[in-house]
Structure 1
Amino acid sequence: MSDGGLTVVDGTELRSVSASLPESNDGVWRVAQVLDFAESKVSASLFGLSLPKNLKSSALKRLLDSQDDVAFRSTDLDTDHASKLLVDYIYAIADELKDNPLVISILDGNTLRQFLEDEDDFAMIAENLFTDLDTTDKGKISKNEIPNALGYMGVEMGVPPISEFPLLNDILNKHGAEGEEELGQAQFAQVLQAVLQDLADALAEKLVVFVRNIKITNGSKLRKLLSNEKQLNNVIEKIFRERDNKKDVIGSIEIIRGFLEENGKELGLPPSEANEAVVLLYDAVFADLGSAKNAFKEDDEFRELVKDILEKFA
C-alpha cells in the first residue's frame, strides 16, 4: 500500500473473497439486504472504499437484464438463492471493475510521518510553503493560510482533501488555524508540524480511501466488443456509413481513424485528446497502414481492415 500513491482496482481482489450470509432466523432474505451485505464485503476487501453509485448500478444491471430494479430489491429469497445472489453480485462488481477499473488513493499517514521524521526535509517543505503563501514578501502570513498550505501539499504528500476527511477541520480548529494571527516562518513551521502530526495520527487510526478522477483504459471493453459478432458488426456498419458519405473526399484509413477518435470512448478506446501519449498510440496503430490511405476498399476487405485495426488497439 503506497500512501499518497495511486492504486488501480480492477476486481482481481474480489474473485477470491469468501462470502457467506450470516444466519437468518426465518431463512428469508430480502434482495436489498443481500446487496447491502455484498457491498459491505466488497468495501472491506478494497481497503474500506465507499463504492461509487455508478459502479453498483452497472454491476446490478449485469444481473437484472430487463427486470425492474425496485421490484427486484423488494423480492424475498430463501437462503440458497440469497447465497447465490451474494456471490453473483460480488462477481458482477468484479466484472464491472475489470471493464472499468478505478484508480484510488490510500492515505494512512505514512508519508506524513516520513516528512516529519526528517527534520531537513520538513524544514525545506515548510520554507517552500511559507514562500509560496507570503505573496507580499513581508515575512509574515496569516494563521488561516495553514489550510492552503495543506492544499498545496495535496494527496501526493499524504494530505487528504477536507471533503474526504472532515476530521481535518477539527485538527485545524484545535491549532487555531482559522485565526487571523500573523506568523513568521519559524512560527508557521511549528503550527504546520503540529497539524501534520495530528493528521498523521488520525490517518493511522482511520485511513482514507477515495476514488481519483482518472480513467483507465485496459482493452477489456474493446476485447469484449471484438468477441461479440453482433456488436462488432454494428460498429462496422456505422463506419460503412461514414465511408459512403466521405469516400470521394478522404481515404479509408482517414475515415476509420476519424470515426475511432470521435467514438473511441464508447468502444473502450482512450480518447484521442486525452494526452500526447494517446495521440502517439493512434499514430503507431495506423502507421503500418499508410499504403492503404488513399485506397477505397471493397466491403469485405474494408470490414477486415476495421477489425484488424481494433485488434491492434486491443
Structure 2
Amino acid sequence: METGNNSWFRWRRKKAKEGQGQGQGEGREEKQVVVDGSEIRELVEDREAFEMLVDTKFRQLDADGDGRLSVRDLRPAVDDIGAALGLPAEGASPNTDHIYKEVVSELTHGTSQGEVSKAEFQEALSDILLGMAAGLKRDPIVILRMDGEDLRDFVAGARYEPGAAAIFSQVGSAEDASLRRCLLAALQQLTVDHGVPPASDAWVAKNVVEPALQQLPADQFERPAASQDDFFQQLKELLGAIADRLREQPVIVAHTENNFDGSGVRRLLGNKFELDKLLDSVWKGARSEGKNKASRECVRSALDKMTDATSLPHYGAVKQVDEVVDEAIKMANADDGKTVGEAEFKKLLADILGAVMLQLSGNPIFVSTNIVVQEPSE
C-alpha cells in the first residue's frame, strides 16, 4: 500500500473551502471523487503544464543525461503505464507481456534503435495519456475517503439486521467456528457500500481490523457464537470499533464497477464503417513486415488494440472476460499458428467478436474492485 501525503484530497479540500467562501456547501469535507479522465485531458491540453511534466519525467528517466531515452531508460515509465492499465507485472503472464512491448513500441515510435528524444517522448506520452483518459471516461474510478461515518450509518440503520442475518446464515453455520472466525468472515462480506474498506488488504488488517478486535473482550473470541442475536451484537461492537479507527485514520479506496455485457462489441459490429476502419488499422499492425500475411496467433494482440471500441478490458486485467475470449479464440481455431491473408484475418476477428458478444450478452460479467491506495494525512 502506498503511503504519503494525499495531495489529491488536499487539492479537493482547498477547492471546497474556496467554494464555501462563495456560499457553496455546508463545510462538510468531500468524501468521494470521480476520476473520469477529464483532469488528464486538461493536463495534456495545458501546454505549459504538460511540458513541465514531460521535462521533469524525461530528466528522471535520462540516467546518463545524453538527451535521449533508451528502452532501458523507459522501463520505469512502461511499468507505471502497465500498472495504470490494471495489468499484472511484466513477466507475470505471457498473455499480457505483449502489451508492454506495444507500450515500448509506442514510446519509441517503433524505431529499431529504440531511442527517443524529448520531443518524441512528449508526443508518445500525450497519445498514451489521452488513451487512458478515454478509458476512464468510459469506466471511471471512484475515489472514496472512508472515515467511519458511512459505517456508523449502516450499523444504526435499517439495513444492518437483514445484512447481518444473511451473513450469519453463511458464516455461523459451522458448529466449531469460533466467534473470531465468524466476525472475520463477516468482514470479508462487507464492502465499501457498507462503509467498510477491504478487510483483505494487509494495511487495513494491520491498522484497522486488528486494533478494533483488540478493543473487544479477548476471552469471547474463541467460543462459538451462541446465537444469531449474540452474533449481531458482537458484530455491531466490532464495526463500531472499526468506525472509530477510521475516524482517527481514514482510508482512501479506489472503487470501480464494470458490467461486461457485450454491448460495446454489439455497437462496433453494428457500425460497418467503424468496424472496417478499425480492422484496417489492426491488420496493418499484425501483418508480417513486407508481407501481406499475418499469423493467426496475432488475433489476441489485435483484439487488445480494439478494447476502446469494444468496451472490453485489456487481456489479463479481468480473468472472467479472458476466459470468454480464450474460448472464442479456441472455437475459431485461431491459435494454430497458421498465417492468413487480410480478408481471412479480418473475418476471424469479426467472428471471434461475435462469439464474445453472444456469450457476454447471455451471461454478463460484473466486476467490482476496491483497492486501498493511500491513507490521507493532514
Displacement of 1:66: 4.7
- Partner Cα separation in structure 1 for residue 129 and residue 224 of structure 2: 51
Residue 41 of structure 2, aligned match among 1, 4, 15: 15
SS of the residue 1:273 aligns to: helix
- Partner Cα separation in structure 2 for residue 20 and residue 260 of structure 1: 37
Match of 1:114 in 2: 150
Contact residue 199 and residue 205 of structure 2 kept, 8 A: yes
Displacement of 1:137: 11
- Partner Cα separation in structure 2 for residue 131 and residue 99 of structure 1: 36
Displacement of 1:193: 1.7
Match of 1:157 in 2: 194
Residue 192 of structure 1, aligned match among 239, 243, 266: 239
1:209 has 2:254 as partner = yes
Match of 1:273 in 2: 359
Match of 1:30 in 2: 69
- Partner Cα separation in structure 2 for residue 229 and residue 191 of structure 1: 55
Match of 1:226 in 2: 276
Given the superposition, is the C-alpha separation of residues 262 and 159 from structure 1 closer, same or farther in structure 2, using an over 3 Å criterion? farther
Contact residue 4 and residue 155 of structure 1 kept, 8 A: no
Residue 129 of structure 1, aligned match among 151, 159, 164: 164
- Partner Cα separation in structure 1 for residue 75 and residue 126 of structure 2: 9
Match of 2:205 in 1: 169
- Partner Cα separation in structure 2 for residue 91 and residue 16 of structure 1: 13
TM-score, scaled to structure 1: 0.51
Given the superposition, is the C-alpha separation of residues 231 and 33 from structure 1 closer, same or farther in structure 2, using an over 3 Å criterion? closer
SS of the residue 1:108 aligns to: strand
Displacement of 1:271: 1.6
- Partner Cα separation in structure 1 for residue 155 and residue 78 of structure 2: 46
Displacement of 1:98: 3.3
Contact residue 40 and residue 133 of structure 2 kept, 8 A: no
Displacement of 1:207: 1.3
Displacement of 1:21: 1.9
The residue identity in structure 1 corresponding to 2:164 is L
Given the superposition, is the C-alpha separation of residues 51 and 229 from structure 1 closer, same or farther in structure 2, using an over 3 Å criterion? closer
TM-score, scaled to structure 2: 0.44
Contact residue 151 and residue 243 of structure 2 kept, 8 A: no
Displacement of 1:85: 0.4
Given the superposition, is the C-alpha separation of residues 227 and 149 from structure 1 closer, same or farther in structure 2, using an over 3 Å criterion? same
SS of the residue 1:207 aligns to: strand
- Partner Cα separation in structure 2 for residue 157 and residue 141 of structure 1: 24
1:180 has 2:222 as partner = yes
Displacement of 1:13: 3.8
Task: Calculate the aligned-residue CA RMSD, in Å.
Answer: 5.1
SS of the residue 1:274 aligns to: helix
1:98 has 2:130 as partner = no
The residue identity in structure 1 corresponding to 2:222 is E
Given the superposition, is the C-alpha separation of residues 276 and 228 from structure 1 closer, same or farther in structure 2, using an over 3 Å criterion? closer
Match of 1:291 in 2: none
- Bigger Cα Rg: 1
Given the superposition, is the C-alpha separation of residues 109 and 201 from structure 1 closer, same or farther in structure 2, using an over 3 Å criterion? farther
**Structure 2, unaligned runs of 5 or more:** 1-11, 13-29, 44-49, 88-95, 285-346, 365-378
- Partner Cα separation in structure 1 for residue 108 and residue 134 of structure 2: 19
Contact residue 41 and residue 133 of structure 2 kept, 8 A: no
Report the number of matched residues. 231
Given the superposition, is the C-alpha separation of residues 212 and 59 from structure 1 closer, same or farther in structure 2, using an over 3 Å criterion? farther
Match of 1:305 in 2: none
Deviation per CA, 1:272-301, whole angstroms, max 9, x where unpaired? 2213598xxxxxxxxxxxxxxxxxxxxxxx
